[in-house]
Amino acid sequence: MIKSRGELHKQMEMTIDANLRSLEEHGEYSEYNVKTNIIESNCDIDKIPPTFDGYHIEIKPTDDKFLFGLIVRNNSQRFVLYIDTFFDRFWKLYNMENSETIDKFMDKFTNLLLLDSLWMPHQMLDTIESTLVNVGFSIKFKQEIFDEDELGEDDISQLTMRLWSRGTKPSKNLFKLLQENNYPSTKTSTRVLNIDDHKVKFLDEVFFDGKITVNKGTDIEEHIRFVDKIIDDYSTKMKEIENNRMSLTKSACGQVVSGSPFEIKFSKNYDIHHLSEKIINSTHPFKSWGVIHDQTDDFLRIAGVDVHTGDKFSMDLMQKYGRLYLPENACGNMVFRLYTNIQHYLDPGVMIFDEHGSVF
Amino acid sequence: MTNTDQSFDHLDIINAVLGLAYNFESYPNHLFKAGYKLSRIEPIIGIPDSINPDILFMSENMGLFAECKGGKIKIGSNLRRYDSVQVRHLIEKGIDIPTESLELDVGIFGRDNLIHLKEQLTEKGIDYPQVILDKTVEQIHGRSFKDPKLNALFSESVEIKSKAPLILKFTHSSPVKKIAPFIFTTLMSRLITGRNKFKVRDLTEEVMGDIWDNLDKSLQNTLVDKMKKFLRQCKTKQLTNYLKNSDDVWSVDIPDHWKSRKKFSDDCNRFIRELDQKDLFYFFRGV
């Protein structure tokens, strides 16, 4: 068990070194990749329940005040992650374990009441690419709201695509082709290369949910710096979003309304009654609950609750538009989650605006 | 008690006017486009006797008092005096003044009731710009706005394609039908966050949210009593399977499965739909 941050860095660096050598010599990895999952946290580490969904958790402190070992047991499985809580709201979970095992665990872990994964819409993944060399991407779109027989001739019900390339051209060209033909181009991951003076510092794959895999690397510090930059950008966006939360306060002269609703603009008209049923039935992907309290053929108003956090929200749905009202104490991650899920499961061309313009 | 509560749809009109100051595509954004932001709702301004316009919007060089009218008859005795407000009166109230040369104007906003109000306004010598917000938004009567941008925007009839945004959800005296959805969301939120046992006062405070602290104690107590009645009504009707109480301590229980939550949502929707005319009482006034 690792006792300090220095030891953790050393182990992660040894793993990426071993993988690099193994790739060069045998063409395959020798160890499980170093992976970092960024999660959104609204609690202290001691609030993590010791058992959930069949997982038993033991939290071990290290010499570093912010770093904890997380020993997880599930049936006969045992694996270890390291939680870095330095950034209050966004924790980093490092691991060098089997990807499938960790993905399953993270799915349940981020479903706990006060934790959530990141939800990066494709625009945020595009921004990450912009300063690095983009050598691949994944697209995963699945129409979950409407059945195939409800779709038009030109609508796509499902598109899964994964491209890895040595250079950046194939990635850019294929993506352009998708956009030009109005096909779903919502990236769920992007593969980026950081090269300095012909030397690969890292080749990382960033997923929309905050998972970052080191596919190749020479310098763990560069990977950590890269992850921190993603946290900074997400955190800045979160602040902007949460500045729009609405409240009513009494002043010496009347009442003051702060914040403003978000406006969602769909790329086409939708049957709002069908759409609302899917949005507020508490199930994947939206995980929202609600009651409808004002409706006509082309308008309905929802008083809702995010069943992941218990936060309340209000929403108006129109054929081409939606309005989302976030109250004062609601977690801004709901906007990321809702918007990203609409991209992935309903409308890849959807946009969301606040008073200043496009949010993403 | 705020003057947003004086007529059934007064709050709707206030929301319709407030919506003009947000940057929406789905709703006219005339005030936003002209550079106005919401400054105060229901400011009380002494000139020196108090007047109480519904809304004050402020742009870089203009202040606009908006009076929202829902009725066909009542004008209000102070409306004529809105024109007497000077910048010094706003300063006295601690309102930030954006420019040395701030000019103030007044507008009356309403639905088709404004057609009927015109004569009475003329009789009283009131000729503020009058803007109808119904299927379209357009100035229909009165003098021009002092701000040429507003004149240009409101002179053209623009279709209103959707309902107004819900900037103010309800007031303490709104009809129960308007408050009920937010009682249900509070119950669900409590359930999810493990606070499913509660006292009625705590629930009332949570439902009322920002409004609660602005109410005096007796009004708070009245609302708590109304909430008790409401919960009892829920318990005997569609929500009988979910609500229990022992004296003042209530609990809400819904199995942790999406189908059960969906059923609860359907039952809440049914409850809202079935609130008949008899139940359309004002929450504050009670049954």
φ, ψ of residue A109 in degrees (nearest 5): -60, -45
The pLDDT of residue B7 is 42
- Interface residue A325 vs chain B (CB under 8 A): yes
Q: How far apart are CA A254 and CA B41, in angstroms?
A: 5
Residue A195 has pLDDT above 60, yes or no: yes
Per-residue pLDDT band at B2 (split at 50, 70, 90): very low
Please name the residues in contact with A6: beta carbons below 8 A apart, sequence gap of 6 or more: none
pLDDT digits over A220-240, tens only? 999 999 999 999 999 999 999
**Encoded tokens for A349:** 């061309």
**Inter-chain CB proximity B192 and A309 less than 8 Å:** yes
Q: How far apart are CA A183 and CA A158, in angstroms?
A: 10
Please name which of A95, A44, A92, A88 lies closest in space to residue A72, comparing C-alpha atoms.
A95
**Inter-chain CB proximity B185 and A283 less than 8 Å:** no
- Interface residue B140 vs chain A (CB under 8 A): no
- Interface residue A114 vs chain B (CB under 8 A): no
- In chain A, residues with a C-beta closer than 8 Å to the C-beta of B24 are 263, 323
- Interface residue B174 vs chain A (CB under 8 A): no
The nearest alpha carbon in chain A to B169 belongs to A314
C-alpha distance across the termini of chain B, in Å: 19
Q: How far apart are CA A351 and CA B5, in angstroms?
A: 36
The nearest alpha carbon in chain A to B44 belongs to A253
φ, ψ of residue A304 in degrees (nearest 5): -125, 170
Identify whether the C-beta of residue A294 lies closer than 8 Å to the C-beta of residue A276: no
Identify whether the C-beta of residue A112 lies closer than 8 Å to the C-beta of residue A49: yes
Task: State the ipTM, two decimals.
Answer: 0.91
Distance (Å) from the alpha carbon of A107 to chain B's nearest alpha carbon? 18
Per-residue pLDDT band at B278 (split at 50, 70, 90): low
pLDDT digits over A1-22, tens only? 899 999 999 999 999 988 888 8
pLDDT digits over B127-142, tens only? 999 999 999 999 999 9
Distances (CA, A) of A85 to A112, A116, B79: 17, 14, 58
Distance (Å) from the alpha carbon of B16 to chain A's nearest alpha carbon? 14
- Global pTM? 0.93
3-state SS assignment for residue B61: coil
**Among B41, B56, B93, beta carbon nearest to A252:** B93
Q: How far apart are CA A102 and CA A86, in angstroms?
A: 21
Distance (Å) from the alpha carbon of A330 to chain B's nearest alpha carbon? 11
pLDDT digits over A312-324, tens only? 999 999 999 999 9
3-state SS assignment for residue A90: strand
* Number of neighbouring beta carbons within 10 Å of residue A193: 19
- Interface residue A303 vs chain B (CB under 8 A): yes
Q: How far apart are CA A116 and CA A102, in angstroms?
A: 15
The nearest alpha carbon in chain A to B56 belongs to A254
Position A44, amino acid: D
What does the CA dihedral A285, A291, A296, A298 come to, rounded to 10 degrees? -20
